[in-house]
Every structure is written in C-alpha cells, then in structure tokens.
Amino acid sequence: YLKVQQLQADGKRRLLRLLRAGDAADLESLVDHPYPHDLVTLTEADVCRVPAEALMGLAAKHPKLHEAM
C-alpha cells in the first residue's frame, strides 16, 4: 500500500488517498508541476516509473486510454 499525503501550512499531514497494487499514482503531475503531494509506502512496494512523454504518447495513440487516465 501507498498513502498519498499533503503537508499542510500548520505542519500537519493530510491523508488524500490510499493506493493498492495496480493503482496509478502521480498522474496529476502531468498537468500540475511539481507534484504537490508525498507518496509514502506503508508496505513493501514495487514501483514502476513511466516518463510523462511515454504516457502522453500512449494517450495520443489510444484515446480510450487517455479517457481512463
């Protein structure tokens, strides 16, 4: 599991969502740079980094994939 959290102005951390195996994280960074959240592993996790250019290329070639993102 991964948790997505955001550091608040008062120093507290706000939990935004929990991610499970197969969930996509950080898609917001495609439109909002830099990514304003932290990802924290809660259990052992394998993470695959996919460059934004590759995602955008796939989205252009496969519009249904873009809709699903």
Among 14, 11, 9, 55, smallest CA distance to 38 is for: 14
**For 5-32, how does the pLDDT look when each residue is reduced to its tens digit (9 = 90+)?**
999 999 999 999 999 998 888 776 666 6
Q: Is the whole-model pTM more than 0.95?
A: no
Return the top range by mean pLDDT from 7-11, 50-54, 58-62: 7-11
Q: What angle do CA 16, 48, 50 make, to 5 degrees?
A: 90
| 24 or 39, greater pLDDT | 39
User: What CA–CA distance (Å, rounded) separates 48 from 26?
Assistant: 12
